[in-house]
Structure 1
Amino acid sequence: MASRRDELNAYTFARKRMVGAFLQPGGGGNDEDAPRPLRAVLPSFVVAAVVVAGFGMWGVLKPAAPPNWDNGKYILQGKSSTTRYVILNDGPNKEPTLHQVLNMSSARLVLAAGATVLSVADDVLDKYPRRGATIGIPYAPDKLPKKDDAGKAKLWSVCDTKSKQNAQSTVGQSVFIAADQDEKTLKDPARVLDENQALYVQQPNLDAKTDGSFYLVDSNGVKHAIGTYNQTGDQINALKLALFGQSPEAQRVTNDWMNTLADGNPVQFPDIPGLGDKPQNSRLDLSDSKQKKVGRLLSFQDAFYVVGLDHLYRITPFQYQLMKYDPRVVSAYGSNEAKADPINASDINKLQPQIDDHLMTEHPDMPTHQLKAVNIGEKPRTVICSTYAGADQDGRIKRTVWADGEYPAKVSANSLSAHVTAGHGLLYRAVDGGVLDTSGQTSSGSYFLITDAGLRYSLPASTAAPTADGSSAPAAPAAPAAKSEANEAQARLDYKDVLPPQVPAEWSKLVPAGPVLDTTAAVQPQNA
């Protein structure tokens, strides 16, 4: 029978074998030769203690603020509070003074161009010996668009939407400055009008007794009045019937929306020599005697013609759409429907010297294709948008017209600001006129910055810019002052090398205005 000592030895041996299975042997060649666990763990505790002590010492010894943080070149931001400050040399003896600033744009405007943000512990800022009043421009933007985005042209679109009652007082309107997916939506071919589509709209009433005029809006963003002031009501109704069918109701729109469109010639029935209220015979040598009446419509392949007294006038499909409802043309058909009769090839060849096509080019801005209004009738698209899409190489404004059942992007109910695609903005120059400058030599117009808050902020053109030492820059000569000061504010806002694209004033003024980003106003105390 084993003694107590033998049992203890066996237990000790088994324990060493088990520990040895989990730990690397000491290299003595003996199964029992396993290291003591404490020998492996103790160094780890020692190293950890040294590291913790090192970090503790660094926390004690490291400076609470970066070197030269108070040299007046930084936008200072409290680490915990994220409150922004600037240091200006505007004390009684030009000493550096710490000022809390209302927003980022104000902070940039009071410092030299290129100022960067520096994080400083709040307790360091709180202990600064000289503190001045809070300064800045109330409601100026805190979030500014990135430099590489601010100079990229955006799609500008103003959209009017029809109410259920189609009343002028309930017309809805939103303005969009679009990028990314919003831009793709406004360029969607399924919703942008093509050459066969149009809009039928009515401008606001001129006064209590005078209704607003009716307009056809084509796919190029050109508005054409339906008829002229000296035409009778029957003539204008005949034009409406030709364009929009029986008893159409035009969509009410705002004057602001109308002002973004280009002016075109009014829609009228083409004037054909010899065409009157009473039909008369033509002197053209036509094989079919029924076609020998002034005002008869003819077709050959895909071309349309109207018979004149001594000439065969070629007309566009759009003019053909109109002339089918011209009362003078209808009278030439008697009781029959006015429509084009085919003309044989021999007559076309024979009448070549007498074919006149001047009507096709008489008004170059008029549509040439037969049109269908997409905002009336079945399944109308009553959210209609006039879009500024840049300019061609000659500076002529390019417009597109967009129509759908919903706005191109979600808008907030009762919002008083424009919808700017989130994360984007624009530094631009608002200009008047229908032709933009393409030379790059002029700087006329007003400079604005628009942010994704949906407001436009004017950059001034004639104020002296304060410097970091509290003084003002000397006045510039009158001629270059506008460009110089706009460039100064632009540079301070970190847009020094950005070339502002041009935007027509008709679109720009539809964006609600925020405060002026004035370098002088940015240093004004705001203690109230």
Structure 2
Amino acid sequence: MASRRDELNAYTFARKRMVGAFLQPGGGGNDEDAPRPLRAVLPSFVVAAVVVAGFGMWGVLKPAAPPNWDNGKYILQGKSSTTRYVILNDGPNKEPTLHQVLNMASARLVLAAGATVLSVADDVLDKYPRRGATIGIPYAPDKLPKKDDAGKQKLWSVCDTKSKQNAQSTVGQSVFIAADQDEKTLKDPARVLDENQALYIQEPNLDAKTDGSFYLVDSNGVKHAIGTYNQTDEQINALKLALFGQSPEAQRVTKDWTNTLADGYPVQFPDIPGLGDKAQNSHLDMSDSKQKKVGRLLSFQDAFYVVGLDHLYQITPFQYQLMKYDPRMISVYGSSSEAKADPINASDINKLQPQIDNHLMTEHPDMPTHQLKAVNIGEKPRTVICSTYAGAEQDGRIKRTVWADGEYPAKVSANSLSAHVTAGHGLLYRAVDGDTLDASGQASSGSYFLITDAGLRYSLPASTAAPTADGSSAPAAPAAPAAKAEANEAQARLDYKDVLPPQVPAAWSKLVPAGPVLDTTAAAQPQNA
């Protein structure tokens, strides 16, 4: 058994071996020659001191500002304050003068096209010998959309929402300029009206004694008045019954909302020669004598027909939906029977081919052809209804879609006075009048606007003409086709020289609240007050 002395010697030997394994021996061959710790650490301290001294020297020798920072070609931004400045040659003797600028848009408008942002130490800017007044356009945008995004068309949608009492004065409205997820929401097939769906709306009252017009809105964004001025109340009520059921209440909307819709042909009962308040027999040769009455509704496979005096009139499913409730049907079916289509046999259809007339199906091309159900009335109504501009068709006609749901397509701030623009996006566009756009997709006339994700539209004058009293620029002469790609001066200075502005119908554009005019002259005005 080892003695305590043997254990102590073993511990001492193990400790020396461990120390020797971590520290380089002194070279004498003796395990007692292990170096002192300071001998290994000292070189590290020396290297660290040299590095620190090097950084200190660089800080002393480093220039206080980038070369040529004050040549008037840069938007200067304080490193710490992020305040923006420009240098203009507008001193008493045209010498360079430093001006603080209210916002990024103003800074770009007072400099030549292609100006870039340069970061400069605040103390360098503070020591600049010549300082002028703060300049810029109040409330002009500070954040501008990127060049590659500004020319991409967005979905424009104006949405009206029904109040609890369906009162005209409390109709809510929001405007959306949508991209990314917001665009996907407005294109969601489950919420975009299809060919079997419609809306039932009423415009604001014309005055205290005159109700606003009632409309059927189809999936193509076309509004059809319910009846015409020369029809009786009985006929108009029968049309409403055919389309919307018993005692329907139309959703109140704003005039601005209906102005974005296309005007369609009014909804009326098809005109069948010989159909009136008294029953008449048809001259057609039919095997079933009950079907030989003028106005009788017939069906064969998926097609619908109305018996006339000398012709069998083919009608669309939508016209069939109307005809069932035509007051004149009482003379055909009686007051106690429901008007509905009876099947006609194949032999009669084949025999009557020369007498089949289908002109009613194409008489009004913008009229719906499918049977419709209004989605904003009845059970589980979708009362947030949106009229969407989705670009132009190949022939230049405005492409519209209609969207309906229980909530807005994106969250909006209560009582917001601006439009909802998808964050990080914007648009440089031309607002044009009319219902047909330039088929090339680029307008040759109209007014330039820039819209940012702040939700305001800013007019860009297309010439040096002074702004008019209402804040818009004086109209410019229409541009020649070869000049479409030429950006105006303000557009070029805002870094959108090569952007071709897409078209937006004025009916949607004017619903976005207007900001100040982005004018190069106004951007250089002092703002001392």
User: Does TM-score exceed 0.5, indicating one fold?
Assistant: yes
Structure 1 residues 45-54 or 245-254, which shifts more?
Answer: 45-54
1:461·1:483 contact (CA, 8 Å) conserved in 2? Answer: no
| Residues in 2 aligned to 1:321 and 1:474: alpha-carbon distance in whole angstroms | 49
Shift of the 206–27 alpha-carbon distance from structure 1 to 2, 3 Å rule, reads farther
Deviations 1:36-63 (A, max 9, x none): 3212211111111111111111111111
Structure 1 residues 435-444 or 353-362, which shifts more?
Answer: 435-444
Helix, strand or coil: the match of 1:427?
Answer: strand
1:110·1:468 contact (CA, 8 Å) conserved in 2? Answer: no
1:305·1:312 contact (CA, 8 Å) conserved in 2? Answer: yes
2:445·2:478 contact (CA, 8 Å) conserved in 1? Answer: no
Shift of the 28–276 alpha-carbon distance from structure 1 to 2, 3 Å rule, reads farther
**Deviation for aligned residue 1:336:** 1.5
Deviations 1:448-494 (A, max 9, x none): 00000000000012227999999999999999999799522111111
| Residues in 1 aligned to 2:235 and 2:472: alpha-carbon distance in whole angstroms | 70
Deviations 1:61-80 (A, max 9, x none): 11110010000000000111
Structure 1 residues 245-254 or 460-469, which shifts more?
Answer: 460-469
**Deviation for aligned residue 1:22:** 2.4
2:219·2:402 contact (CA, 8 Å) conserved in 1? Answer: yes
**Deviation for aligned residue 1:188:** 0.3
Shift of the 85–466 alpha-carbon distance from structure 1 to 2, 3 Å rule, reads farther
Structure 1 residues 370-379 or 438-447, which shifts more?
Answer: 438-447
Shift of the 3–217 alpha-carbon distance from structure 1 to 2, 3 Å rule, reads closer
Q: Any stretches of 5+ residues in structure 1 without a counterpart?
A: none
User: Under a length normalisation based on structure 2, what TM-score does the superposition of the two structures give?
Assistant: 0.93
Listed as ranges, the matches of 1:35-46 within 5 Å are 35-46=35-46
**Deviation for aligned residue 1:446:** 0.4
Structure 1 residues 313-322 or 386-395, which shifts more?
Answer: 386-395
Match of 1:478 in 2: 479
Structure 1 residues 161-170 or 272-281, which shifts more?
Answer: 272-281
Shift of the 347–223 alpha-carbon distance from structure 1 to 2, 3 Å rule, reads same
Shift of the 79–422 alpha-carbon distance from structure 1 to 2, 3 Å rule, reads same
| Residues in 1 aligned to 2:45 and 2:433: alpha-carbon distance in whole angstroms | 76
Helix, strand or coil: the match of 1:484?
Answer: coil
| Residues in 2 aligned to 1:421 and 1:266: alpha-carbon distance in whole angstroms | 37
Deviations 1:96-132 (A, max 9, x none): 0000000000000000111110011111111100000
Shift of the 512–482 alpha-carbon distance from structure 1 to 2, 3 Å rule, reads farther
Shift of the 53–285 alpha-carbon distance from structure 1 to 2, 3 Å rule, reads same
Shift of the 251–476 alpha-carbon distance from structure 1 to 2, 3 Å rule, reads closer
Match of 2:506 in 1: 505
**Deviation for aligned residue 1:306:** 0.2
Helix, strand or coil: the match of 1:190?
Answer: coil
| Residues in 2 aligned to 1:354 and 1:198: alpha-carbon distance in whole angstroms | 34
Residue 267 of structure 2 is aligned to residue 267 of structure 1: yes
Match of 2:87 in 1: 87
1:283·1:309 contact (CA, 8 Å) conserved in 2? Answer: yes
Shift of the 45–357 alpha-carbon distance from structure 1 to 2, 3 Å rule, reads same
**Deviation for aligned residue 1:299:** 0.1
**Deviation for aligned residue 1:35:** 3.5
1:87·1:97 contact (CA, 8 Å) conserved in 2? Answer: yes
Shift of the 483–88 alpha-carbon distance from structure 1 to 2, 3 Å rule, reads farther
Shift of the 210–33 alpha-carbon distance from structure 1 to 2, 3 Å rule, reads same
Helix, strand or coil: the match of 2:269?
Answer: coil
2:437·2:443 contact (CA, 8 Å) conserved in 1? Answer: no
Identity %: 95
Helix, strand or coil: the match of 2:487?
Answer: helix
Shift of the 216–409 alpha-carbon distance from structure 1 to 2, 3 Å rule, reads same
2:135·2:526 contact (CA, 8 Å) conserved in 1? Answer: yes
| Residues in 2 aligned to 1:222 and 1:480: alpha-carbon distance in whole angstroms | 31
2:442·2:502 contact (CA, 8 Å) conserved in 1? Answer: no
Deviations 1:322-358 (A, max 9, x none): 0000011232011311000000000000000000000
Shift of the 116–293 alpha-carbon distance from structure 1 to 2, 3 Å rule, reads same
| Residues in 2 aligned to 1:409 and 1:186: alpha-carbon distance in whole angstroms | 9
| Residues in 2 aligned to 1:354 and 1:474: alpha-carbon distance in whole angstroms | 58
Shift of the 320–464 alpha-carbon distance from structure 1 to 2, 3 Å rule, reads closer
| Residues in 1 aligned to 2:436 and 2:114: alpha-carbon distance in whole angstroms | 35
Helix, strand or coil: the match of 1:304?
Answer: strand
**Deviation for aligned residue 1:17:** 3.0
2:461·2:473 contact (CA, 8 Å) conserved in 1? Answer: no
1:168·1:252 contact (CA, 8 Å) conserved in 2? Answer: yes
Match of 2:525 in 1: 524
2:333·2:339 contact (CA, 8 Å) conserved in 1? Answer: yes
**Deviation for aligned residue 1:10:** 10
**Deviation for aligned residue 1:499:** 1.0
Structure 1 residues 438-447 or 274-283, which shifts more?
Answer: 438-447
Deviations 1:355-408 (A, max 9, x none): 000000000000000000000000000000000000111111100000000000
Shift of the 423–478 alpha-carbon distance from structure 1 to 2, 3 Å rule, reads closer
| Residues in 2 aligned to 1:307 and 1:469: alpha-carbon distance in whole angstroms | 60
Shift of the 472–71 alpha-carbon distance from structure 1 to 2, 3 Å rule, reads farther
Match of 1:108 in 2: 108
Shift of the 60–6 alpha-carbon distance from structure 1 to 2, 3 Å rule, reads farther
Helix, strand or coil: the match of 1:447?
Answer: strand
Structure 1 residues 278-287 or 36-45, which shifts more?
Answer: 36-45
| Residues in 2 aligned to 1:312 and 1:465: alpha-carbon distance in whole angstroms | 66
Shift of the 380–500 alpha-carbon distance from structure 1 to 2, 3 Å rule, reads same
| Residues in 1 aligned to 2:349 and 2:62: alpha-carbon distance in whole angstroms | 97
| Residues in 2 aligned to 1:471 and 1:72: alpha-carbon distance in whole angstroms | 30
1:110·1:466 contact (CA, 8 Å) conserved in 2? Answer: no
**Deviation for aligned residue 1:31:** 4.2
User: Under a length normalisation based on structure 1, what TM-score does the superposition of the two structures give?
Assistant: 0.94
**Deviation for aligned residue 1:442:** 5.2
| Residues in 2 aligned to 1:219 and 1:81: alpha-carbon distance in whole angstroms | 53
Shift of the 29–347 alpha-carbon distance from structure 1 to 2, 3 Å rule, reads farther
2:485·2:500 contact (CA, 8 Å) conserved in 1? Answer: no
Shift of the 408–491 alpha-carbon distance from structure 1 to 2, 3 Å rule, reads same
**Deviation for aligned residue 1:255:** 0.3
Shift of the 293–55 alpha-carbon distance from structure 1 to 2, 3 Å rule, reads same
| Residues in 1 aligned to 2:283 and 2:86: alpha-carbon distance in whole angstroms | 89
| Residues in 2 aligned to 1:471 and 1:460: alpha-carbon distance in whole angstroms | 8
Shift of the 364–20 alpha-carbon distance from structure 1 to 2, 3 Å rule, reads same
Match of 2:146 in 1: 146
Structure 1 residues 392-401 or 465-474, which shifts more?
Answer: 465-474
**Deviation for aligned residue 1:34:** 3.3
Shift of the 471–424 alpha-carbon distance from structure 1 to 2, 3 Å rule, reads closer
Match of 1:162 in 2: 162
1:416·1:512 contact (CA, 8 Å) conserved in 2? Answer: yes
Shift of the 458–102 alpha-carbon distance from structure 1 to 2, 3 Å rule, reads same
Please tell me the root mean square deviation across aligned C-alpha atoms, in Å: 4.1
Shift of the 402–127 alpha-carbon distance from structure 1 to 2, 3 Å rule, reads same
**Deviation for aligned residue 1:161:** 0.2
| Residues in 1 aligned to 2:522 and 2:120: alpha-carbon distance in whole angstroms | 26
**Deviation for aligned residue 1:23:** 2.9
| Residues in 1 aligned to 2:303 and 2:473: alpha-carbon distance in whole angstroms | 71
| Residues in 2 aligned to 1:244 and 1:477: alpha-carbon distance in whole angstroms | 47
| Residues in 2 aligned to 1:348 and 1:73: alpha-carbon distance in whole angstroms | 82
Shift of the 7–464 alpha-carbon distance from structure 1 to 2, 3 Å rule, reads farther
Aligned length: 528
| Residues in 2 aligned to 1:131 and 1:421: alpha-carbon distance in whole angstroms | 39
| Residues in 2 aligned to 1:419 and 1:526: alpha-carbon distance in whole angstroms | 30
Deviations 1:203-237 (A, max 9, x none): 00011110001000000000000000010101000
Q: Any stretches of 5+ residues in structure 2 without a counterpart?
A: none
